[in-house]
Amino acid sequence: MHKTINNLISIQNELKSSSEKDIYPKIIAVSKTFPLDSIQPLIDYGHCHFGENKVQEAVNKWSDIKTQNNDIKLHMIGRLQTNKVKYVVSLFDYIHSLDNIKLAEKISVEQKRINKNLKIFIQVNIGNESQKSGIELTHLTNFYNKCVDELKLNIVGLMCIPPQNNPETYFINMQKLNKTLNLNELSMGMSADYLVAAKYGSTFVRVGSKIFGERD
């Protein structure tokens, strides 16, 4: 069995064993920068959720695969520029990084143009860090309402990349925010902290290096 499959199964088992309610998050295999021959064993195994953060790389890598395999769900997990929206809406199934109103408006227009409805996460700057993207907490409710009521976006949940120190505190806050907005999905947790994120209601964890190994 390929090492990536063994790594995936190991993470799945960790999440299952740490779950008290037999409910645990889906694993997004973050395949950015990795070639297709590293990804193909997971596809053949039946894994469906993959994450990319570079639009052109994703288009080159996944266009043919998605045409052949309807089960693949592609997640845009990186910063998204408005001039790349048409490619993302066409190829991807989820966007995890909605972080400004111009981007929301562009997604809305493009979705209407091709009659597609992606599942979208609002990125929250949960640690109020100037170097990170995301909607500030004080603006979150108004931003969410505008996206849903005016732009008719399918906002399914919130996403965050918390400060490295004590992420647990921020995961707790994210869980509360998600419940306040009555959202069902929560995207948080990466290779270093996915078990902690799962403890606080994450429904999608984004794991790269622990599946594929370290990037060059």
How far is 185 from 34, CA to CA, in rounded Å?
27
Q: Read off the pTM.
A: 0.95
- Evaluate if residue 59 carries a pLDDT over 70: yes
Domains in the chain (CATH in brackets) are 3-15+27-212 (3.20.20.10)
pLDDT digits (tens, 9 = 90+) for 163-196: 988 899 999 999 999 999 999 999 999 999 999 9
Asked whether the beta carbons of 178 and 158 are under 8 A apart, the reply is yes
Under the banding of pLDDT at 50, 70 and 90, the label for residue 216 is: low
The whole-chain average pLDDT of the chain stands at: 94
Instruction: Report the pLDDT averaged over residues 84-93.
Output: 98
DSSP string of 107-171, one letter each residue = HHHHHHHHT---EEEEEB-TT--TTS-SB-GGGHHHHHHIIIIIS---EEEEE----SS-HHHHH
